[in-house]
Chains A and B, each alone.
Chain A
């Protein structure tokens, strides 16, 4: 009887420690984890025109077709528009070597994808539940550790990510995204002035 009691207590302690470990460990890998301070790091690269190929051309045409269909379906309602834009994001990216440098492997395709993701996210943040999806969609594409393409599409996507984060109450991500968008736009402006 005594041994039985010890076993029960040991199991209870084990469960208690497991519970502690689960509750105390940082939520690694969870996309909805909020940072405490804004991360405004920005590394950017210029995307140079790549050599044309059938795969790249097909991808560009596919994305253009999605935008065309989305333009036509503008009055068809939110859900239909979101559905079309999601189809575009499902298109497979052309293979590696599309870009010109390590760290920016997708080149122009990356920009097309980002622009489409920004458009979809702009649509998603119009609904209360859409902000979370927009955040999940854009965060990996715009992570502060990634080098971003110096382009209007990137700035647009960063601004939408900021809106989505703000709607969710993630002020650190919102401030960081807005700050990065501003830095990127300053660079775009400097490039325009120098032109």
Chain B
């Protein structure tokens, strides 16, 4: 019984030593400096050689920058997901209303007014589905924290707008007020 107790204490001590060793080696790893050429200063807890203090600062800055980039990337991808949700939800609504509109147009077959509205609505439905698909593909392919995302969106948005203008004779009066389909 005594032997078992001693063995237990020994195991605990051993575990303690291993844990402490781990902590020390961990702290050494955390305090390591970035490689700066072949004349590297001796390793240790505190900066000892020439320029090592600067390197530690540089490392801290790099780490901070990396974590900031990571957080920004995660936030951007989350924002994108909700944006795509909205884009795709609008697409579902557009296509559902288009079906209703075309059902009415069927009752008025032969009327150019109804036929035109149905044709345009179908085109709108396709366009909205494409926008949803592009948003989803963009979201899947983009690496976190990609700074060019805004540029890409603006370009694509311009393309969509041009399509709309050609098809509908849209009039873009200004950035705030928009009129189209004639008045």
Name A's B-contacting residues (CB within 8 A): 37-38, 40-46, 48, 101, 147, 150, 155, 159, 162, 166, 171, 174-176, 178-179, 181-183, 185-190, 192-195
A-B contact pairs, 12 of them (CB 8 A): A38-B114, A42-B181, A45-B176, A101-B177, A162-B97, A179-B117, A186-B124, A187-B178, A192-B87, A193-B87, A193-B135, A194-B154
B31 located at the interface, meaning its Cβ lies under 8 Å from any Cβ of chain A in the complex: no
A162 proximity list for chain B (CB < 8 A): 97, 100
Say which one of B21-29, B50-58, B65-73, B155-163 lies at the interface with A.
Answer: B155-163
**Residues of B contacting A195 with CB < 8 Å?**
83, 153
Most buried by B among A101, A147, A185: A185
Interface on B for A, CB 8 Å cutoff? 83, 86-87, 90-91, 93-94, 97-98, 100-101, 104-105, 107-108, 111, 113-114, 117, 120-121, 124-125, 127-128, 131, 134-135, 153-154, 156-157, 160-161, 164, 176-183
Q: How far is the CB of A168 from chain B (nearest CB, A)?
A: 13
Q: How far is the CA of A139 from the CA of B110 in the complex (A)?
A: 27
Select A44's contact among B90, B104, B107, B179, beta carbons within 8 Å: B179
Provided the pairs A43-B183, A190-B157 are in contact, do residues A178 and B97 lie with their beta carbons within 8 angstroms? yes
From the candidates B98, B117, B156, name the one contacting A38 in the complex (CB within 8 A): B117
A166, B160: Cα distance in complex, Å: 31
Contact B117 A175 (CB under 8 A): yes
Q: Could you tell me the dominant secondary structure of chain B's interface residues?
A: helix
Q: Tell me the minimal C-beta distance from B182 to chain A in angstroms.
A: 7
Instruction: Check if A46 sits within 8 Å of B181, measured CB to CB.
Output: no
Q: How far is the CB of A151 from chain B (nearest CB, A)?
A: 12
Task: Flag if B104 contacts A166 (CB, 8 Å).
Answer: yes
| Chain A residue contacts of B183, Cβ below 8 A | 41, 43
Specify the chain B residue showing the minimal Cβ separation from A174. Answer: B104
- The answer to whether A182 touches B177, judged by C-beta atoms less than 8 angstroms apart, is no
Instruction: Determine if A182 and B83 form an interchain contact, defined as CB atoms under 8 angstroms apart.
Output: no
Specify which of A178, A182, A185, A188 lies most central, judged by the most chain B CB atoms within 10 Å of its CB: A182
Chain B residues, Cβ within 8 Å of A176: 117
> For the complex, what is the distance from the CA of A126 to the CA of B154, rounded to whole Å?
42
The residue of chain B having its C-beta at the shortest distance from the C-beta of A42 within the complex is B181
Complex Cα–Cα for A46 and B174 (A): 11
Decide if A175 touches B177 in the complex (CB within 8 Å): no
A42-B181, A43-B179, A185-B93 are known; give 5 further A-B pairs, CB within 8 A: A46-B176, A178-B104, A178-B117, A179-B101, A194-B157
Which residues of the partner chain B approach A166 to less than 8 Å between Cβ atoms?
100, 104
CB distance from A43 to the nearest CB of B (A): 5
Nearest chain A residue, comparing its CB with the CB of B79: A195
Across-interface contacts of A179 in B (CB, < 8 A): 101, 117, 120-121
Contact across chains for A190 and B176 when beta carbons are under 8 A apart: no
Contact B94 A185 (CB under 8 A): yes
| A192 pairs with B83, CB closer than 8 A | yes
Q: Which residues of A contact B177 (CB under 8 A)?
A: 45-46, 101, 147
Q: How far is the CA of A50 from the CA of B8 in the complex (A)?
A: 74
Q: Return chain A residues, CB-CB under 8 Å to B101.
A: 175, 178-179, 182
Least CB distance, B33 to chain A, in whole angstroms: 43
Query: CB distance B104 to A171 under 8 Å?
Result: yes
Name the CB-closest residue of A to B118.
Answer: A175
Cα distance A82–B149 in the bound complex, in angstroms: 46
Q: Are B113 and A192 in contact (CB under 8 A)?
A: no
